[in-house]
Amino acid sequence: MLKLGVNIDHAATLREARYRGLGHGEPDPVEAALICEAAGAHGITAHLREDRRHIQDRDLWKLREVVRTRLNMEMANAPEIVEIALKVKPDIVCLVPERRQEVTTEGGLDVAGNEAALTDTRKRLNDRGIEVSLFIAPDPAQVEAAARTGSQFIELHTGAFAEHFGEAAGRVREVARLMAAARQAHQAGLQVNAGHGLNYQNLAGLLQLPHLVELNIGHSILCRSLVTGLDAAVREMLALMRDY
């Protein structure tokens, strides 16, 4: 069964637009997480960024208290954030690149260029019982490097697939890259997740990928929830994934 992890960051984005720095406000990303779980989501994803633009430390601690499925903490490989992860103990950490000027995470990690540092962080997290995933582009060198770090998962960056979905040649090219990366990762002993830019229109084009464990989807579900409600938005996405 293909699992769905719902990223609730942008519930916090909406809250921070009005209540930034106040320590309260709506919508509450923790409440959103509970609704997603009740609707059938298999996990909750939250990205504690260094600039705290959406998810705050208090959100992460509360999520750790209440999430009963699987808490996935997205984070940069930054000393402060690593220390927080070691204390919070999410079920899994997904290490991602992070730039202050980006709107959301752009591109994948350069694992090949930062292998030693990522391996060290992976070991520290694993020693605390936390699984590790690396968010990477579907590039053979990056998959190979990810395997060498000893990480349990990769998460394939599907942004290029989403960007080129409306163009037949581009869609075929990006699906082929993702399929090759998924096979390579599986052969190397890595489990395979995917995410970024996935929505109700392009999801079907991704379901031909082999060896997928989980899709992490956030923005599209939260946008859909403005029309249908969050419970219905999660259930609709799960229905699209059912035949994998």
Which of the 8 DSSP states describes residue 183? Answer: H
Give the model's confidence band at 106: pLDDT under 50 very low, under 70 low, under 90 confident, else very high.
Answer: low
Compute the Cα dihedral for 131, 134, 135, 141 and give only its sign: negative
Element housing 14 (H / E): helix 9-19
Computed over every residue of the chain, the mean pLDDT equals: 95
Q: Is the pTM of this model over 0.85?
A: yes
Q: Which domain holds residue 109?
A: 3-241
Q: Which residues face 46 on adjacent strands? A: 73
Q: Find where tokens 């919070």 sit.
A: 88
CB of 151 closer than 8 Å to CB of 132 = yes
Is it the case that residue 101 has pLDDT exceeding 60? no
Please tell me the distance from the alpha carbon of residue 114 to that of residue 145, in angstroms, as a whole number. 9
Q: Which of 33, 6, 3 is nearest to 241 (CA)?
A: 3
Q: Quote the number of domains for the chain.
A: 1
Task: Reply yes or no: is the peptide bond before residue 29 cis, omega within 30 of 0.
Answer: no
CB of 214 closer than 8 Å to CB of 3 = yes
- Of 33-47, 95-109, 110-124, the one with minimum mean pLDDT is 95-109
The percentage of residues in the chain with a pLDDT greater than 90, rounded to a whole number, is 89
The percentage of residues in the chain with a pLDDT greater than 70, rounded to a whole number, is 97
Tens-digit pLDDT profile for residues 1-15: 999 999 999 999 999
Is it the case that residue 99 has pLDDT exceeding 80? no
Which of the 8 DSSP states describes residue 27? Answer: S
Tell me the CB-side half-sphere exposure of residue 239, using CA atoms within 13 A.
9
Can you tell me the mean pLDDT for 87-106? 80
Six-digit token pair at 18?
């009005």
Can you tell me the mean pLDDT for 17-29? 90
Element housing 127 (H / E): helix 115-127
Which of the 8 DSSP states describes residue 82? Answer: H
- Provide the CATH number for the domain around residue 168: 3.20.20.70
Please tell me the distance from the alpha carbon of residue 173 to that of residue 215, in angstroms, as a whole number. 20
Tens-digit pLDDT profile for residues 195-223: 999 999 999 999 999 999 999 999 999 99
Tens-digit pLDDT profile for residues 157-207: 999 999 998 888 889 999 999 999 999 999 999 999 999 999 999 999 999
What are the residue numbers of the active site?
47, 74, 196
Q: Which of 23, 77, 32, 15 is nearest to 50 (CA)?
A: 77
Query: C-alpha angle 25/91/21, rounded to 5°?
Result: 20
